[in-house]
Structure 1
Amino acid sequence: MRLSSIFITGLTFAAAAAISLVAANFSVELIEDSSEIGVRDALDARGLTWAEVEADGLQVTLAGLAQSEAVRFQALTAAGTIVDAARVIDEIEVEAQAAIAPPRFSAEVLRNDAGLSVIGLIPVSTDREAMVDRFIRVSGQDRVTDLLEVADYPAPPGWEDALGFALTALDDLPRAKVSISAGRVEITAITDSAKDKAEMERALSRAAPPAVLLTLNIAAPRPVITPFTLRFVIDDGGPHFDACSADTEHSRDAILKAAAAAGMTDVGRCTVGMGVPSPTWSEAVTQSIAALARLGAGSVTFSDADITLIAAEGTAQDTFDTVVGELENSLPDVFALFSKLPETVDPDVGPPEFIATLSPEGQVQLRGRVPDEAFRNLADSFAKARFGSDRVYVAARVVPDLPADWAARVLTGLEALSELSNGAVRIQPDSLSVTGNTGNSDARAVIASLLAAKLGEAEKFEIDVTYREKLDPVAGLPTPEECEAEIGAIVAAGKINFEPGSATIDASALATMDDIAEVIKSCGDLRLEIQGHTDSQGREEMNLSLSQSRAQSVLNELRARRVLTSSFTAKGYGEAQPVADNDTEEGREANRRIEFRLIQPEPSVPEGDSALESIAENSDILPNETTSEEGPGQ
């Protein structure tokens, strides 16, 4: 009986345990399902459908591939709103992110009389301290405002080329803004004159490396023209301007249109400047040009508001009176007209005259008549001051009873002659003529202004001055390639020989060095590499050393001739670059040589610039070379 009671009790406990276990399992499954469903719904509500949810007891595991750390954090936060955050197991992976793109490096330099400032972002590889020191040297004062920032990224292609060029260009830019980026430099500057602008644009364009895109915005202020001068002539050569000034582009166009209507076929050049005596300048000029055209020949000269109209000799008196009368009545009030009809002169009677000539070599001769000995000495001194004391020859004779203004006319004529490269001045009692060639495109206008200011309103003068580009000290400069070709012609005609086995230039080659030095002096800025080469006889190390010494000797000879060689380098290549067979004496002779090469920087391609990439891929960046053979010996 007792055994049966114990069995029943045990069986009861066992049944209770089984029921409890089943209930616990059911509860766990219920919790897992409710947690998993709840978390999944929370994720779906936030658009995080990529996340995978798995419940294991009280723990909830999140898995999947999140687009970023921020999205991963959103998923964990959403799960934490449903279950305790401590129960959430994070197995989410994050997509690999692309490397952060490097910043755009750039710098902007502002320089004026107040100092220099620089702002921008530069790579850490750029020596900032050296860059600022260079700015201090350029400005000549310790007033450099440094607003540069640095980023730890590699410098993009073309950055160093652009920065180096900009730093060099700043030496010649006292008032400018220079913007620098990879492979690009933009320069905005102002110059004092159109001539300075042309010189600056030419120098910067020549100095820019091939890989740098250079943009120039160079401005030149309008010149102040004093006196405001215009001279229009109709003679045997046809209608033309000796000088032309206008106050606006519209005024210039109106004046050129009037000249074309008067028969001028050439493209006229008219300077737009400041200093006009009246807003009605173009009206007065166009009326005067039309009046001269009606007369058929002669000249009309403006000096500020004073107008001088001189008809050609032989013009009918009634025609002259009619044209001048109508012009006087139509001119704006501020302008005053002086008109003259020259009397017919007997051609058999020779008037007194004074002639000064300037040869292309710079020699000056003074011939003709002067009023007295004192003035002859004065004219001699004046000419020597203008042209050089060793270049003036005086053959003028003293003749009394010359016109009272003869001395002033002679000195004015000599001053006008000094504006020419070569030519002549002829002075007679009623006329003065200036003829010749010049390298200054503004010389005609300068001479016309000078004569009008110093000779007076009623004086008759003629100007026949031709601009020659080859005489222009700016436009006439040869290109580096032309200089290289000229050096090549010199070294082809005469060898640069060395004493056998040494770096001493043979005396027979000194004349060739003289000729090369003269060419380089006329070429302006030029970057040259002087290369030394030998044949293959002897040890390679000795040949390399000898070629370097010979190239340096040539460089030293140029320096001895006062050639600026700061942009030159000397480099020896030994026997590494033969141009002929070293197995023959003729070949070895050809390989013993000096070469002159233009230095051109390796182009670097600006970032993202497909056009430059194409150029870099398809162009031969090796410079042209000029070869000079040497004498016997390595």
Structure 2
Amino acid sequence: MRISQLMIVIAVFALAGAAAVGAAVLAVERIETGSKRQVETELGIAGLDWAQVSVDGLQVTLTGTAPDEATRFRAVALAGKVVDPTRVIDAIRVRPGKAVEPPRFSVEILRNAEGVSLIGLVPSTTDRQAVIARIRAFAGDAPVTELTESADYPVPAGWQAALHFALEALAQLPRSKISVAADEVAVTAITASAAEKRRIEAALQAALPEGVRLSMDISAPRPVVTPFTLRFLIDDAGARFDACTARDEKGRARILAAARAAGLSGEASCTLALGAPSPRWPEAVEMAIGALARLGGGSVTFSDGDVTLVARDTTPPDLFDTVVGELESRLPPAFALHAVLPEPVDTSAGLAGDDKPQFLATLSPEGLLQLRGRVPDQRIRDAVIGFSRARFSGADVYGAMRVDPELPDGWPKRVLAALEALAHLEHGAVVVQPDYVEIRGTTTLEEGKAEISRILSAELGEAENFAIEVRYVPPPEPDEALPSPQDCVDRINGILAAAKITFAPGSADITPEAGDTLDRIAEAMRGCEHVPMEIGGHTDSQGRESMNLRLSQNRADAVLNALLARRVDTRNLSAKGYGETQPIAPNDTEEGREANRRIEFRLIVAETAGDQAPAAEQEGAGQADAASAAQQEARQ
């Protein structure tokens, strides 16, 4: 009986133990399921659906691929909020990051009266000191502020050529902002005149490197014209302007439309300028031109607010009175009209046998200025000759004037005004009479005729009758023919053959002894600015090939900068280093090595499309610091 009871007790304990184990297993499964569900819920709310959760007992393992390291850390941290962080096993992978994009290299250069400043990001191989030296060569004593940063990334194609072009543009534009990138140069600038604006725009377009876009916003401020002048004539030769000035585009269009209605044909220009005496300037000019057309001819001259209308001497008096009366009543308040119906005038230049007082000045193409006619006294005679010698510097002045005390009032002023007008001609003549002034000849100044009108209208005053028969001719081309491109190269290499450009050992520093050679080359470059040439730098074979290549580029760049400092136009010059690749003598003797260390000029000719990369784009060449090169390079 006792044995059976013992067995029963053992069986009861066994069943209890089995039940406890089963309960423990069920409890663990509930914990695992609960932990997994809670962690998955937390991750799902955070939008981290890429993370997978697995549970093994109390351990929670996170797997999957996170987009970045920060997101991986966030998933682990969220799981650690649900369960004990020590139970979380991080098995998450992180997606490989994209390769770092190289930066966009760009520089913004500002130049004004205060100096030059540079800001931006440049390749680490850019010789910033050489850039500053080039700027100082044309900026003079103006301060240069360099605020660029550098980055060690591959130099983009076209960067060096674009930067070189931008510096050349900066040299021509004292008031400018130039933005430089490898594929684009943007120029914003102000020039002194419209003619200069056109010249610079054409020069920049011609010098633009291939593969570089150019955007230009170059403006020319409107000139201040004093007096604000307009002169319109209708005679047997037709209708025309001697001078035309307008306040704005709208006013110019209105003035030209009135002139065409009065008989003007062909092209006509009207300068936009500041200084108009009234906003109603176009309206007043339109009225006056219309009145002149009704009279059938004559001239109308505006000098600020003074309006002088001179009819033809054949105009019927009744018509003259009617038209002038209507015009006088309609003109805006700022304008005062003086109208003249003249007596017939003598426009001949003859003096012999003529009792009417005259003064005649003739300027010959050879530079002989002859002064004839009458002046009121000896003092005025001396003053006219002195003024002529000062105003016509270089001319041979011959005075044959006679004194006439009976000349009308204001005669000296009329004579000096006529001589001032004559000074704007290449050659010609001016005749002064008491009631009439006539000037004839040719001028090489585009605005010469208009300037003569301003002088006569301002100095002679209202009610003065004058005629301008001046023809514009372009300035003559220089007599000396430009040398041929090959002549330019041969001339420079001849100078180098006589005296080399030498450098300090292992560096790109030009020795003082080479200054005379550079001066001679700069002089030889006069007239050769249009020739595309390459400055080639060459070394011997001592030292590493890569260092020799950089040294030769630095030396070629140094020569280019030295010529720029000597005021040579370097737009058609490029610098290229060849290192030791083009020897002209064996490198196993000192004499041969000395011959191989050289600077050569080469004519750049048109090449095939595949070979047109600018020499300035030889990336990696010529950009190392010369001082660093000196520490590593054997003596050159």
1:392 aligns with 2:396: yes
1:450 aligns with 2:468: no
Asked whether the 8 Å contact 1:427–1:433 carries over to 2, the reply is yes
**RMSD between aligned residues:** 5.2
Asked whether the 8 Å contact 1:530–1:571 carries over to 2, the reply is yes
Tell me which residue corresponds to 1:303.
303
* C-alpha spacing 1:498/1:2, structure 2 compared with 1 (3 Å): closer
Counterpart of 1:242, as a letter, is D
Which SS does the other structure have where 1:432 is aligned? Answer: strand
Which SS does the other structure have where 1:325 is aligned? Answer: helix
Q: Residue 426 of structure 1 is aligned with which of 412, 425, 430?
A: 430
1:184 aligns with 2:184: yes
Counterpart of 2:367, as a letter, is Q
Shift of 1:290: 1.5
TM-score with structure 1 setting the length:
0.68
**Cα distance in 2 for residues equivalent to 1:33 and 1:489:** 89
Asked whether the 8 Å contact 1:423–1:436 carries over to 2, the reply is yes
Counterpart of 1:218, as a letter, is I
Asked whether the 8 Å contact 2:491–2:524 carries over to 1, the reply is no
1:488 aligns with 2:484: yes
Q: Residue 357 of structure 1 is aligned with which of 359, 363, 369?
A: 363
Tell me which residue corresponds to 1:417.
422
Per-residue deviation, residues 162-197 of structure 1 (Å, max 9, x unmatched): 444445544554444444444333333334443454
* C-alpha spacing 1:525/1:358, structure 2 compared with 1 (3 Å): farther
Tell me which residue corresponds to 1:68.
68
* C-alpha spacing 1:575/1:161, structure 2 compared with 1 (3 Å): closer
Tell me which residue corresponds to 1:271.
271
**Cα distance in 1 for residues equivalent to 2:526 and 2:493:** 24
1:250 aligns with 2:250: yes
Per-residue deviation, residues 577-617 of structure 1 (Å, max 9, x unmatched): 9xxxxxxxxxxxxxxxx9874699x9xxxxxxxxxxxxx98
Shift of 1:446: 0.9
Asked whether the 8 Å contact 2:162–2:182 carries over to 1, the reply is yes
Map 1:454-603 to 2 at 5 A.
454-469=459-474, 487-488=483-484, 521=526, 528-529=533-534, 564=568, 597=603
**Cα distance in 1 for residues equivalent to 2:58 and 2:493:** 97
**Cα distance in 2 for residues equivalent to 1:93 and 1:349:** 104
Tell me which residue corresponds to 2:325.
325
Comparing 27-36 with 252-261, which one deviates more in the overlay?
Answer: 27-36
Per-residue deviation, residues 482-528 of structure 1 (Å, max 9, x unmatched): x9x95439959x997999xx769xxxxxxxxxxx9999746878764
Which SS does the other structure have where 2:463 is aligned? Answer: coil
Tell me which residue corresponds to 1:440.
445
Shift of 1:427: 0.7
TM-score with structure 2 setting the length:
0.68
* C-alpha spacing 1:170/1:486, structure 2 compared with 1 (3 Å): closer
Shift of 1:618: 8.1
Shift of 1:343: 2.6
Shift of 1:156: 4.8
Map 1:213-232 to 2 at 5 A.
213-232=213-232
* C-alpha spacing 1:160/1:78, structure 2 compared with 1 (3 Å): same
Matched positions, count = 544
Which SS does the other structure have where 1:332 is aligned? Answer: coil
Per-residue deviation, residues 330-369 of structure 1 (Å, max 9, x unmatched): 333443333333333689995556241342xx62342653
Which ranges of structure 2 fall in alignment gaps of 5 or more residues? 352-357, 500-520, 538-551, 584-599, 616-636
Shift of 1:65: 1.8
Counterpart of 1:281, as a letter, is W
**Cα distance in 2 for residues equivalent to 1:87 and 1:122:** 51
**Cα distance in 1 for residues equivalent to 2:486 and 2:403:** 53
Which ranges of structure 1 fall in alignment gaps of 5 or more residues? 478-482, 505-515, 533-547, 578-593, 603-615, 624-634
**Cα distance in 1 for residues equivalent to 2:486 and 2:411:** 51
* C-alpha spacing 1:348/1:618, structure 2 compared with 1 (3 Å): closer
Counterpart of 1:460, as a letter, is N
Shift of 1:239: 0.6
Counterpart of 1:226, as a letter, is T
Per-residue deviation, residues 543-594 of structure 1 (Å, max 9, x unmatched): xxxxx9xxx9xx9xxx9xx9947665799999989xxxxxxxxxxxxxxxx9
**Cα distance in 2 for residues equivalent to 1:346 and 1:63:** 111
* C-alpha spacing 1:433/1:56, structure 2 compared with 1 (3 Å): same
Shift of 1:264: 0.4
